[in-house]
Chain A
Amino acid sequence: MASATIAPALKQPAWTNDRNVLRVLAIVFVVFVYVLPLIDDSTKTMDFMTKAMIYVFLGMGLNVVVGYAGLLDLGYIAFYAIGAYTCGILTQAFHIPQWAAVPGVVVACIIAGIIIGGPTLRLRSDYLAIVTLGFGEIIRVTARNLTIDAPDGSPMVRGPSGMANIEQWSFGGWSFTDGLNIGGMFIREQVIFYYFVTTIALVLGVFGISRLANGRLGRAWKAVRDDEDAAEAMGINTYTTKITAYIIGAVWAGLAGQLSATQQLSIAPTSFEFLFSALILMAVVIGGMGSTPGVVLGAMFVSLVPNLLRNYEWAENRYLYFGILLVVVMLFRPKGFWPATDILPWSSEKIHKWLTARKAAKAGKDLIATEEDTYE
């Protein structure tokens, strides 16, 4: 049959098709982020790198919803806000350590995910975009107007001023604020926090999500994204599949919200605007929907650009450039910078075709002969 003869011709050069290349790059990246504080642990660097890792975590969460399940979520930051507020309220109202608030954050996000996703995921998927946009606004407005007092009567959630004095993470008697002494080297709070966030972002965000995507559930997500009817015909309940994607995305965003709240040690409702949701979406789309390396790079890109653009005016106008980039990417490279279907960004279809053509030209007669065989 045709496949036997045509398939090898379409193949890319062996090394670009080798997953080990990807592994090596992943190791380089991991080593880099872990070694970085040894090179530069200035407050500024640690601050924006921690933020960048939170973006990576958020990006991987949104990647499940947009990249794998193909659902457009424009209010993703709502769950991030829910996570931040839930951990703030739980730790301050009940005086529990930060880690004990994690289950609360997870449950709150699951409930919110079911409330929003439950009814709308039954509809055409483009309605989800607008509902999530509306939901994002609801959460933002609610956050701005919300005032709750702690059980002891002191103000806890203070409307437009948000929350202050968020608990730092502490385990047993040891808190991040105490720092850490290893072999005479003192590691301060900010660096510990960076390592903490990086580890969570890499383990739960990057590796966790890509593992999920390669399993049974991940295959179902992708199937639903590519063709909903065909997925149903394969015995996949498309509705529950979509809702699991939505909820997992929500939980990941909630955890990111908790991390962010503990980084700032306060919560400001102004940070939960649509722009932030759009920024994470851009990270996913520009990087490559459904592509782990793409989303990691995309998230680093959108979060680090303001720091990299020395020119103040450029940094100020970045949303204009992001908008243009978004349209350009969709028009000319819809799979993003690092397509999920390719091992490396430059092993794209064009090169692929060019190589095929060159091979075909070289092989010349052979290929024509085998093609004739196929259609005898």
Chain B
Amino acid sequence: MTQVLIDGLFLGCVYALIALGYSMVYGIIKLLNFAHGDIFMFGAMIAFTMLTAVPGLQSAGIVAVFGVLILSMFLTGGTGVLIEAVAYKPLRSAPRLSLLITAVGMSFVLEYGVKQFWGSKSITWPQWAQMGAGSIPIFDGTITISRLVLMAVSIALMVGLGFYINGTRQGRAMRAIALDQRASTLMGVDVNRTISLVFFIGSALAGAAGVMFGMYYGAIGFMMGFLLGLKAFTAAVIGGIGNMYGAMLGGLTLGLIERTTVYFCNGDDSWKDVVSFGLLILFLTLRPTGILGDRVVERM
């Protein structure tokens, strides 16, 4: 059972990192960014290319891996900003349906664009860049050191984001726009810049999650963002969409629930997705604002 808990928490960290991007973007422009899960996948892909294409990187070992992680975050962040600028910004005043459909289209472009360049086969992460196998026993389970490191990284990222949003001018601007875009404009907040920044941060976090995913699981593919993105969205809704801490809490909750489901199905993991999405529908029905979200009066 401890093992279930550990597995669940690890998975939850990956979900939470992706969910944060979903939640931040939804919070600020009320868009379900379907392409977000694919940014996660894209991050893994470019990290893979850097790891294999740059000669001599292997000798730098773990330092190189972290260098690649940071570089990938910048690149995915840039991709997010680019997508927003090209596809979403021109439609900001268009009907919501157009924006959602564009997001679906962007998701296709990313998935099948990646398929074009990286192929449709599952890609094996370079052995040396995968995390070592040393493990520490905890009660009746074990946790690999690599997991511990990756969890530490993701928690550090989330805490950093927390400080950023609550403690800086830019963070305050983001919260202001989320509350009232027009009023923020009138107060001199640069709305376009702030929205770009949100896309940058959200996409960078998803990119980080992608690299971590590759490092840990060792295999990546062009479609992996679809299901994981959907799960991360579920996590965001469970926690309370638009709420940062909600995204983290939802991610961890969903990770735990999923591993527990597999545990109770005696290791058969075919039903875990059904349980997750069932939960999504249940939450949207009974408590659409999630665990942490407040009931907001919607003004006309």
Contact = CB atoms under 8 A, between A and B. Distances in A.
Contact of B300 (A119, A125, A229): A229
A326 B288 contact: no
B184 interface: no
Contacts of A135: 277, 281
A123 B108 contact: no
Given A123-B288, A130-B32, A334-B94, A320 B112 contact: yes
A233 B109 CA distance: 40
A310 B72 CA distance: 38
B270 A126 contact: no
B273 interface: yes
A134 interface: yes
Given A70-B97, A142-B274, A131 B281 contact: yes
A145 interface: yes
Q: How large is the interface on B (under 10, 10 to 19, 20 to 34, 35 or more residues)?
A: 35 or more
B31 to A, nearest CB: 8
Contacts of B105: 323-327, 330
B104 interface: yes
Contact of B270 (A120, A144, A331): A144
B230 interface: yes
Contacts of B128: none
A320 B108 contact: yes
B112 A129 contact: no
A334 B94 CA distance: 9
Given A130-B32, A327-B105, A138 B273 contact: yes
B91 A331 contact: yes
A66 B234 CA distance: 23
A72 B108 contact: no
Given A133-B230, A274-B226, A320-B112, A72 B97 contact: yes
Contact of A327 (B102, B270, B281): B102
Nearest to A145: B270
Contact of B91 (A74, A137, A229, A330): A330
B157 interface: no
Given A327-B87, A327-B109, A134 B280 contact: yes
B104 A281 contact: yes
B109 A126 contact: no
B113 interface: yes
B134 interface: no
Given A137-B227, A138-B278, A141-B271, A119 B108 contact: no
Interface in B152-196: none
Interface in A311-334: 317, 319-320, 322-327, 330-331, 334
Contact of A119 (B30, B226, B284): B284
Contacts of A129: 32, 100
B101 interface: yes
A72 B116 contact: no
A137 B227 CA distance: 9
Interface string B21-35: 000000000101000
A245 B129 CA distance: 52
A320 B116 contact: yes
Dominant secondary structure at the B interface? helix
Interface string B81-108: 0000001001100111110111011111
Interface residues of A, number: 41
A330 B32 CA distance: 16
B104 A74 contact: yes
B91 A120 contact: no
A138 B285 CA distance: 17
A278 interface: yes
Given A116-B281, A130-B32, A323-B108, A330 B101 contact: yes
A331 B281 contact: no
Contacts, number: 115
Contact of B32 (A120, A126, A134): A126
Nearest to A320: B112
B116 A131 contact: no
Interface string A245-258: 00000000000000
Contacts of A278: 104, 108
Interface string B216-254: 000000000011001001100100000000000000000
A129 B112 CA distance: 21
B258 interface: no
A302 B10 CA distance: 41
A366 B230 CA distance: 60
Contacts of A330: 87, 91, 94, 98, 101-102, 105
A135 B274 CA distance: 9
Contacts of A274: 226
Nearest to A326: B105
Contacts of A72: 97, 100-101
Interface in A58-81: 66, 70, 72, 74
Given A72-B101, A334-B98, A320 B115 contact: yes
A320 B105 CA distance: 9
B91 A322 contact: no
Nearest to B108: A323
Given A134-B277, A330-B91, A285 B101 contact: yes
Interface of B: 30, 32, 87, 90-91, 94-98, 100-102, 104-109, 111-113, 115-116, 226-227, 230, 233-234, 237, 270-271, 273-274, 276-278, 280-281, 284-285, 288, 300
Interface of A: 66, 70, 72, 74, 116, 119-120, 123, 125-127, 129-131, 133-135, 137-138, 141-142, 144-145, 229, 274, 278, 281, 285, 289, 317, 319-320, 322-327, 330-331, 334
Nearest 10 A-B pairs (CB), nearest first? A323-B108, A326-B105, A134-B277, A320-B112, A119-B285, A327-B105, A323-B109, A330-B102, A319-B112, A145-B270
18 contacts: A116-B281, A119-B285, A126-B32, A131-B281, A135-B277, A137-B227, A138-B277, A145-B270, A229-B300, A278-B104, A281-B101, A323-B108, A323-B113, A324-B105, A330-B87, A330-B102, A330-B105, A331-B91
